[in-house]
Structure 1
Amino acid sequence: MKNPAPTIENTPRYVQVGDGYAATLVVTGYPAEVGPAWLDPLLAWPGRLDVVVHLDPLPAPVAATQLRRQRARLESTRRDDAATGRLGDPLTDAAAEDAAELADRVARGESKLFRVGLYLSVHAQSVDELDDAVADVRATAASMLLDTQPATWRQLQGWTTCLPLATDGLNMRRVMDTEALAAMFPLASPDLPAPLPGEPAAAGGVLYGLNPASHGVVWWDRWTQHNANSVVLARSGAGKSYLVKLEILRSLADGVHVSIIDPDNEYLRLVDAVGGVTLALGAEGVRLNPLDIPPGDRRPQARTYRALFLHTLIAVLLGHQPPPTERAALDGAINTAYNNAGITNDPATWRRPAPLLRDVADALTAQDTAAGTTLAARLAPWTTGSFRHLFDGPTTTVPSGQLVCWSTRQLPDELRAPGMLLALDAIWRDVDTPVTAAPRRLVVVDEAWTLLRDGEGARFLARLAKSARKRRAGLAVITQDVGDLLGSELGQIVIANAATQILLRQAPQAIELVADAFGLTGGEARQLLSAGRGQGLLLSGTHRVAFDVVASPREHQLCTGDLELS
């Protein structure tokens, strides 16, 4: 059975459209002078309010005739007052002077006249809410010296007037000149747009903060955008980790599963407080085997995918891609190591213990070729040398749960980027495994510059940014080194695939690069240079809004930046 079509009920005070209500107000009085963006208080009203302007240009001869008649009426009033001995009316004197000045500008072609209708359509979910909203909008308009009247008995015409039909059913106009109209524009609110008429309000999302310009709430749902990826760019100490921790905490309450790559143990307090799991890479007895095949993966290419990842990992370990001869030798050694372990392309064999990195090195040596021997020797630090502990054995544990933190603080600098890559790979193996009704997953990569400065690591991150949307996942990249992200083609790919972009305080040396990359205005660039801790811009497509981060005392306690040094 089909749903019945929405109905419209017309009453003297409002119209009911479907399950919503709307009331139209007509602006009947205006202040004598207006400044730039004088409609902003209405455009920033924290609710569903349509501000509609109908414009009709007046032909020059008609405008001149009307101005002449208006000046004649005003001048006759002034002369009559003088002849009868009454005191002059200051409003009449000011209106006469304004009319004379406007007539001069119209005669010289410096200004034009327009018939203008300004209407306000207020929306709510119930009649009581509508009455409160109408009273609030009228009070806001009164604070701007605008007189408003409800379109009583003409609410249906008022509702259609406020639709994008270019039809004015009320036809309650005032004459304005070009300067007053120009001060209306741009018709843009400093707040994010409300849902379109007929669309329900967003059920998810998290609170990012308050808009300092309008004091409105900045509420954002990354999961309703084109993709759930985000980038956070800020200089050190601008509050980027604080903001990300708040979003993680609030996303957990929304049912999102979160995995964090934490280079500085900044998230341990938060993880412990909410019952999350932490895996400290580099700690005694903690190992990750990059050749493990996910137990739940039954795709015939799973073994091939692991071989390709090992190519990427070894390029990161070495700092560059090996020469073609060494890559060919490595590919053969990987296949040999899998075959020696009894693991073929048959998924039934994938439960057997996977080979280790040292088994691949042994297979390289057994090839008895110059390329294989050279590559095995170059891999010695990670197979038999000082850095072997992370790879020297089967994977000890792969944590699971709604919040998992992969700490890389205990890794030496030489293993920091490979460790982040291994953690990302382990996270992504879990995300990439086909699961019925998989939860939404957010993967947070803090201090991503560690991975972005390496070509293969940046390439891997770019692939994840492209693939996340198809797997109900979002990739959040946080970095303070803006040059590593904006200065490379792969970094630009990460930004291009992030529907949510957050800019906090920027360094003067990087502001030009940031402004060019994100199309910032001069005012926005200056705002980012002088922004305080936790102040920034949220950008998504054509939407952009400033915000100040807000947190409850308990949230602040969990998200403050004191490092866990243990």
Structure 2
Amino acid sequence: MPSPSKLTDFKQKIAEPIRKRKQARIDAKKELNITFGEQDAIDILSYAGLEENADYLNIDGVYLRTLFISGYPFVASSGWMDSLINFNHDTDISYHVHEVSALSALPKLHRKITELESTKRAMIRAGKIVGSEITDPLESAIELRDKIQRGQEKLFQMAIYISIHADSLEELNKITKLLEATMSARLFYSKVARYQQLEALQSILPRGEDQLAQKRNLDSSSAALTFPFMSSELVQESGILYGVNKSNNSLVILDRFSLHNANSITFAQSGA
């Protein structure tokens, strides 16, 4: 029969883990009990309030509306996104680019080509005129398929979102109409993310999450032309003319005395 001291040691070994678990639960409750009025880092960084509406958000008195590009020009050219990059208002632009593997892209292209060719043959048999709405996508799909098979192009899914900021709802509506008119002049078509403004806000934030998922297929050449490698306009109403910006042929009108530091420096060739 074991001695009383050994029984005591055995009971302590069994009771020790139980005591530790109870103490851990007590400590966890203490961590959750935040003193009234105390703030953590998330509380300090968070906004005071958010009002969600069908087509805009109101965050701490700032009105915010997010749009997405739903239609692109048929032909991509150099600088085709200049009008968006140089839009002279308070906007945020977010790009989401995802590569599509050739193994999954080619079967879809084959199916699309078959559908367009069937539609074309049916229209010819019916004596109808085959318009550009059939021939242009068919030629583009065949060309893209051939380039992907030869390894000359890759297929990407791209989503472009534009978030507009304004101090009032009237100003927000005015800037939205101006942006839509500016984009439609370059054959881009934009839509407001109605009833999805929160998802659109999450997609605009630099977190790499595309919760809006308004994607468009582009080849690598067209996708490369969408990146903002051009400079924006430099215009101040109270400034004077300094010259012409050779990147986009816009005027450089600057009031350096309105800046925090009015000093300037000029570089030029000898004899200029």
- TM-score range for the pair, normalised by the shorter chain length: 0.7 to 0.9
1:112 counterpart letter in structure 2: K
Given that residues 100 and 154 in structure 2 are in contact (C-alpha distance below 8 angstroms), is that contact kept between their aligned partners in structure 1? yes
In 2, Cα distance between equivalents of 1:124 and 1:219 = 24
Which residue pairs with 1:165 in the alignment? 207
Alignment of 1:323-362 (within 5 A): none
Matches within 5 A, 1:21-420: 21-191=63-233, 207-209=239-241, 213-214=249-250, 218=254, 220=256, 224=260, 228=261, 230-233=263-266
SS in 1 for 2:265: strand
Residue 81 of structure 1 aligns to which amino acid in structure 2?
Answer: M
Q: 1:50 to 1:215 in 2, by over 3 A?
A: farther
Amino acid at match of 2:99: P
Q: 1:45-100 CA deviation, whole Å, 9 max, x = no partner?
A: 11112222111100110111111111111111111111222111222112111111
Aligned-partner Cα distance in 1 for 2:192–2:251? 27
| Per-residue deviation, 1:11 | 0.7
Query: Alignment partner of 1:230: what SS?
Result: coil
Deviates more, 1:90-99 or 1:183-192: 183-192
Contact 2:234 2:251 in 1 (8 A): no
Instruction: Sort the Cα spacing of 1:128 and 1:206 in 2 relative to 1 into closer, same or farther, 3 A.
Output: same
Aligned AA (2:66): T
Tell which structure's C-alpha radius of gyration is larger: 1
Pair 192,62 (structure 1): closer, same or farther in 2 beyond 3 Å: farther
1:7 to 30, 49, 55: 49
Q: Distance in 1 between matches of 2:108 and 2:184?
A: 29
Residues 356-391 of structure 1: CA distance to partner in whole angstroms, max 9, x if unpaired?
Answer: xxxxxxxxxxxxxxxxxxxxxxxxxxxxxxxxxxxx
Distance 1:178 1:137 in 2: 26
Matched AA of 2:239: L
* Residue aligning to 1:493: none
Number of the residue aligned with 2:61: 19
TM-score (norm 1): 0.37
Paired residue type of 2:265: V
* TM-align CA RMSD: 2.9
TM-score (norm 2): 0.74
> Matches of 1:44 and 1:217 in 2, distance apart?
15
The CA deviation at 1:186 is 3.4
In 1: Cα distance, 2:85 partner to 2:257 partner: 22
Q: Secondary structure at the match of 1:45?
A: coil
Number of corresponding residues: 226
CA contact (8 A) 2:90 2:165 kept: yes
Gap runs ≥5 in structure 1: 194-204, 234-502, 511-528, 530-566
Moved over 6 A (4+): 1-4
CA distance in 2, matches of 1:219, 1:181: 37
Deviations 1:290-347 (CA, angstroms, capped at 9, x unpaired): xxxxxxxxxxxxxxxxxxxxxxxxxxxxxxxxxxxxxxxxxxxxxxxxxxxxxxxxxx
CA distance in 2, matches of 1:220, 1:8: 37
Paired with 1:131 and 1:174, the residues of 2 have a C-alpha distance of 26
Aligned 8 A contact 1:206 1:221 in 2: no
In structure 2, do the counterparts of structure 1 residues 16 and 192 end up closer, same or farther at CA, with 3 Å as the change threshold? farther
The answer for unaligned runs of 5 or more in structure 2 is: 1-36
1:168 counterpart SS class: coil
Q: Residues of 2 paired with 1:58 and 1:24: CA distance?
A: 26
| Displacement after TM superposition at 1:187 (Å) | 4.4
CA distance change for structure 1 residues 142 and 86 in 2, over 3 Å: closer, same or farther? same
Q: Secondary structure at the match of 1:75?
A: helix
Structure 2 vs 1, CA of residues 165 and 208 (structure 1 numbering), >3 Å: closer, same or farther? farther
* Residues 216 and 34 of structure 1: CA distance in aligned 2, closer, same or farther (over 3 Å): farther
Q: Distance in 1 between matches of 2:151 and 2:47?
A: 52
* Equivalent in the alignment of 1:423: none
Please give the secondary structure, in 2, of the residue aligned with 1:33: coil
Contact 2:256 2:262 in 1 (8 A): no
Q: Which residue in 1 is equivalent to 2:5? A: none
8 Å CA contact retained: 2:81, 2:228: no
Measured after TM superposition, the shift of residue 215 of structure 1 is: 5.5
Mapping of residues 498-513 of structure 1, within 5 Å: 503=267, 506-507=268-269, 509=270
The answer to whether the 8 Å contact 1:206/1:220 transfers is: no
Q: In the aligned structure 2, how far is the partner of 1:150 from the partner of 1:216?
A: 32
Amino acid at match of 1:42: L
Confirm or deny: 8 A CA contact 2:98 2:157 kept in the other structure: yes
- Give the Cα separation in 1 of the matches to 2:198 and 2:224: 30
Q: CA deviation at 1:185?
A: 2.4
Write the letter of the residue equivalent to 1:58: V
Distance 2:182 2:252 in 1: 14
- Aligned partners of 1:66, 1:216: CA distance in 2, in Å? 48
1:223-242 Cα deviation digits (max 9, x unpaired): 54xxx373433xxxxxxxxx
